[in-house]
Amino acid sequence: MVDVVVKKSSIENLGLFAVRDFKKGEVVLRWDLSHELQKKDIIKLPEKEKKYVSFHEGKYILIQEPSRYINHSCDANTKAEHFCDIAVRDIKKGEEITADYTEEGDLLGKTVPCHCGSKHCKKDLRL
């Protein structure tokens, strides 16, 4: 059963959207761990792929589809836990799935503008 779909997002180009309701604490997505990287391999990636690298639980993972379409929000509705995206609150069918990219710390060493539109928006993200 498909629980999410990629479509146009008001945050950034494409986003991931719920096809059904999710309850707080429920797994929204399980990460594909088949693309684990060593830190030295990250700089060899094409620039457009670097933004899909996540550092989680001591591992660098090149995030694959559909997870790579989860956009950042300063008021995210999921959190990363045990290589899954977990709902931090109830998520309604049709709602965009979002994560707080700053939870991973200073992975890429750059600041980018935030376009999340949240009333709690930080405006700039250190990634």
What is residue 56's predicted lDDT score, i.e. its pLDDT? 86
Strands 96-99 and 71-72 come out as parallel
Please report whether residue 50 resides in a domain: no
Please report whether residue 22 resides in a domain: yes
Q: Which tens digits make up the pLDDT trace of 22-61?
A: 999 999 999 999 999 998 999 899 988 988 888 888 899 9
Please report whether residue 112 resides in a domain: yes
Supply the CATH number for residue 97's domain: 2.170.270.10
Please report whether residue 42 resides in a domain: no
> DSSP of 53-111, one letter per residue?
EEEETTEEEE--TTGGG-EE-TT-SEEEETTEEEESS-B-TTPEEEE-GGGG-SSS--E
Please report whether residue 39 resides in a domain: no
In the chain, how many domains are there?
1
Q: Which tens digits make up the pLDDT trace of 88-119?
A: 999 999 999 999 887 765 555 677 788 888 88
What is residue 55's predicted lDDT score, i.e. its pLDDT? 86
pTM for this entry? 0.87
What is residue 109's predicted lDDT score, i.e. its pLDDT? 67
Please report whether residue 71 resides in a domain: yes
